[in-house]
């Protein structure tokens, strides 16, 4: 899903850097504070980051006959919020752009925005709304992370469309052209990502359910209910 | 167990989809990123020159898969380590609770 090196002309790559930078700085600030007061969260943070590492390295074949990869950012977004997810995503995007020529340094701002900010914000909002509405916990996790995956690719299409408006039809027409490449390919991958993330959450609850309560991801009563349902 | 079964079914359907598509079409299964490059070329009439190129590119497909595999391995290692650590810790905590009663 990464926009390749050099494929965003000025002023767009600068604009996306400007948009992403404050979120990254806020995320680093949040991380520092979290590490001061709640050091025992560090392992879970590492797991969330590692999850992004694994999922974004898996290029999966899709119905369209082309390959794309999931993002893995939904889990970090639900646990730690979008700002910290943006920092974790940036680490992965840097690795891929430096060592794999996948994505790029000039397009880093745009890629951080689509994968590290837009996706996680969607995941966070859907998760919180779903939990408030009393939806099943695992279904909500599925929905939030699958939609975050889709959102990342739709925003990537939008970023490209803004930079390359079609001569006939403008931004909307080229958005459709880019979304046609990304969105259909991504749909099955988003379903897989949502399902696997829901499964991972089951295990996180088994081993460190207390941490989820501490992070305000679920309430005490909610945790008890989920654990009883599993027993 | 319920979630495990649902996930297994989804993965199976996904695999079946791949086998079906790959055996009935001549799809190349190239990256969607590369296709986006094609769309850019179409939209600009092939006039777009990338403003920058990567500092370094993996010299071959093999090296590229090596680095992708490395990325996945690092991630899987971290996840496995901490899941195992917590699992073991929870278990030993439970045993400590049992001991005094013996």
Domain ranges of chain B: 1-53, 58-102
User: Given pLDDT bands bounded at 50, 70 and 90, which one contains residue A39?
Assistant: confident
pLDDT score for B34: 83
pLDDT score for B100: 56
Residue-wise pLDDT tens digits, B21-57? 999 988 889 888 888 988 999 888 888 999 999 888 9
Instruction: Sort out which chain B residues have CB atoms less than 8 A from A67's CB and list them.
Output: 29-32
Asked whether this complex has an ipTM greater than 0.85, the answer is yes
DSSP string, B17-70: HHHHHHHHS----EEHHHHHHHHHHHHHTT----S---S---SSHHHHHHHHHH
Residue B79 CA to residue A63 CA, distance in Å, equals: 30
Residue-wise pLDDT tens digits, A83-126? 999 999 999 999 999 999 899 999 999 999 999 999 999 999 99
- Residue B48: asked if its preceding bond is cis (omega within 30°), the reply is no
Q: How many Cβ atoms from other residues are within 10 Å of residue A129's Cβ?
A: 13
C-beta separation of A101 from B57 below 8 A: yes
Residue-wise pLDDT tens digits, A186-204? 999 999 999 999 999 999 9
pLDDT score for A1: 62
Is 70 exceeded by the pLDDT of residue B101?
no
Residue B71 CA to residue A66 CA, distance in Å, equals: 21
pLDDT score for A230: 74
Cβ contacts of residue A49 below 8 Å, gap of 6+? A76, A88, A91, A92, B78
Residue of chain B minimizing CA distance to A92 = B71
pLDDT score for A231: 65
Q: Where are the domains of chain A?
A: 12-230
pLDDT score for B94: 82
Residue of chain A minimizing CA distance to B75 = A50
Residue of chain B minimizing CA distance to A42 = B82
Q: 């119905």: which residue's tokens?
A: A63
- pTM (two decimals): 0.93
Average of per-residue pLDDT across A19-38: 95
| Sheet-wide strand order for B30-31 | A60-61, A66-68, B30-31
Do the Cβ atoms of B30 and A58 come within 8 Å?
no
Please report, rounded to a whole number, the percentage of residues in chain B having pLDDT higher than 70. Answer: 93
Do the Cβ atoms of A65 and B54 come within 8 Å?
no
Residue A204 CA to residue A173 CA, distance in Å, equals: 43
Q: Classify domain A12-230 by CATH number.
A: 1.10.1760.20
In the three-class reduction of DSSP (H, G, I as helix; E, B as strand; rest coil), residue B79 is classed as helix
CA atoms within 13 A on the CB side of B36: 30
Helix H or strand E segment including A60 = strand A60-61
CA dihedral A141, A121, B40, A168 (to 10 degrees): 110
Average of per-residue pLDDT across A40-49: 93
C-beta separation of B11 from A193 below 8 A: no
Cβ contacts of residue A68 below 8 Å, gap of 6+? A1, A59, A60, A62, A153, A182, A185, A186, A189, B31, B32, B33
Is 80 exceeded by the pLDDT of residue B102?
no
More confident residue, A160 or A229: A160
């Amino acid at each position: 899903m990464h926009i390749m090196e050099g494929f965003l002309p000025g002023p767009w790559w600068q604009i996306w850097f400007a948009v992403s930078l404050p979120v990254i700085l806020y995320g680093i600030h949040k991380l520092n504070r979290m590490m001061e007061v709640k050091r025992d969260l560090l392992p879970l943070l590492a797991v969330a980051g590692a999850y992004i590492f694994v999922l974004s390295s898996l290029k999966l074949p899709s119905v369209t006959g082309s390959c794309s990869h999931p993002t893995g950012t939904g889990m970090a977004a639900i646990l730690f919020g979008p700002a910290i997810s943006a920092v974790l995503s940036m680490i992965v995007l840097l690795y891929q752009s430096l060592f794999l020529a996948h994505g790029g340094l000039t397009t880093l701002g745009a890629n951080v925005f689509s994968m590290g900010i837009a996706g996680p914000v969607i995941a966070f909002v859907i998760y919180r709304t779903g939990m408030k509405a009393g939806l099943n916990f695992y279904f909500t996790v599925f929905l939030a992370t699958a939609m975050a995956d889709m959102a990342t690719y739709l925003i990537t299409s939008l970023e490209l469309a803004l930079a390359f408006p079609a001569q006939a039809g403008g931004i909307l027409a080229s958005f459709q052209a880019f979304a046609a490449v990304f969105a259909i390919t991504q749909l099955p991958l988003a379903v897989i990502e949502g399902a696997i993330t829901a499964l991972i959450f089951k295990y996180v609850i088994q081993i460190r359910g207390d941490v989820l309560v501490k992070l305000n991801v679920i309430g005490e009563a909610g945790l008890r209910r989920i654990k009883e349902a599993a027993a | 167990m319920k979630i495990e079964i649902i996930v297994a079914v989804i993965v199976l359907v996904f695999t079946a989809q791949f086998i079906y598509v790959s055996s009935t079409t001549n799809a190349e299964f190239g990256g969607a990123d590369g296709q986006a490059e094609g769309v850019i070329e179409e939209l600009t009439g092939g006039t777009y020159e990338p403003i920058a190129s990567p500092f370094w590119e993996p010299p071959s497909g093999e090296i590229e898969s090596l680095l992708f595999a490395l990325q996945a391995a690092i991630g899987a290692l971290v996840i496995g380590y901490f899941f195992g650590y917590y699992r073991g810790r929870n278990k030993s905590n439970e045993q400590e609770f049992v001991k005094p009663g013996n």
